[in-house]
Amino acid sequence: MWTKELEKRRALNENEKRNLDEQKKKNELAIMEQTNDDEKMVKLAEEQMRQKELLLKKIIELESELDKKQSLELNIQHMRGAIEEMNHMSTCEEEDMELKKKLEAIEEELNDKEEELDGMESVNQNLIIKERKTNDELQQARQQLLSNFMFIYLSPKIFNDSRTNICVKRMGELDEKPFVKVANIKHGGEDAKAKAAELCSLWEDYLRDPNWHPYKMVVEGETFKEILNEDDEKLKELKTELGTEVYEAVTTALNEMNEYNPSGRYTVKELWNSTEKRKARLGEGIECLLEQWKMHKQPKQRRN
């Protein structure tokens, strides 16, 4: 008997335990859901509070700006009225001292503004002078660097052009290689070299002629820009008779000369980045110069 009773009790206990576990889980789930809801409510309340504070701050700022604007407009109107009224007053038994003070204040403020403007113009003028001075100093430094470059460039024992892409280029100088190539094709033999030199010399004379200006003005946006006139008869004839390579050599030299020395029409020395086909920056030239001097000093140090 007792065995059956014990089994019944065990079954009841197991059921109760399961019921308790299920209830516990339900309670925990309910607590978690409530906690999540509470957290959401807190976050929502915090966000609403933040938005409300921002809105209130914005309203205060707008009201402040509006007050300033309205106050300024009223002051301007009053001051204009005061000035107009005082201008119409010739003599009065009792002068409005307040209006007079305001007029004096306006005049004083105007004077202050004029002095402030004069000061700003003075500062601006000083900045312009400093900028020009800096540009002049940079140009002087570039010219000095170019002179130093020319010195070591003409000294094979110092300059090693195989290790650098910075060189001295004569802007506007005509490349004779395309002329030699065309002369070899058209003439050949011993006459080719002489013919190439003759053609190159002829076009160098054309390049130096200030009366020959194969350019035209075009509108680009809201500004005018000077470009090469490809319809120029001399250039068209050159391209037809001697080909594209010679044409490009001549127009390249022409554009360089027009940029660097349009009035004098002679070549100008310039530091040049041969790899990127552009004018070398000042820093590039200085770095290259230092590297050349370092390489020049190394053998001496080894001998010592």
Say if 79 falls within a structural domain.
no
Work out the average pLDDT over 85-94.
Answer: 54
Q: Does residue 241 belong to any structural domain of this protein?
A: yes
Domain count, the chain: 2
Which helix (H) or strand (E) element contains residue 1? none
Inform me whether the pLDDT recorded for 68 exceeds 70.
Answer: no
Position 42 confidence tier, pLDDT thresholds 50, 70, 90: very low
Q: What percent of the chain stands above pLDDT 90?
A: 19
Same-domain check for residues 198 and 246: yes
pLDDT of residue 134: 74
Same domain, 252 and 178: yes
Shared domain for 296 and 259, answered yes or no, is: no
Q: Domain for residue 190, yes or no?
A: yes
Q: Are 190 and 212 contained in the same domain?
A: yes
What is the DSSP-derived secondary structure letter of residue 158?
T
Q: For 142-179, b where at least 16 C-beta lie within 10 A, e where not — what string?
A: beebbeebeebbeeeeebeeeebebbbbebbbbebebb
Confidence class of residue 133 from pLDDT cuts 50, 70 and 90? confident
pLDDT exceeds cutoff 60 at 55? no
pLDDT greater than 80 at residue 164? no
Kind and range of the H or E run holding 237: helix 233-242
157 and 277 both lie in a single domain = yes
Distance, CA of 146 to CA of 138 (rounded, Å): 12
| Mean pLDDT within 223-243 | 92
pLDDT greater at residue 224 or residue 5: 224
Domain residue limits at 272: 114-171+268-304
Establish if 219 belongs to a structural domain.
yes
**Do 194 and 227 belong together in one domain?**
yes
pTM across the whole model: 0.53
In a shared domain, residues 192 and 272: no
- What is residue 22's predicted lDDT score, i.e. its pLDDT? 77
- Domain membership of residue 212 (yes or no) is yes
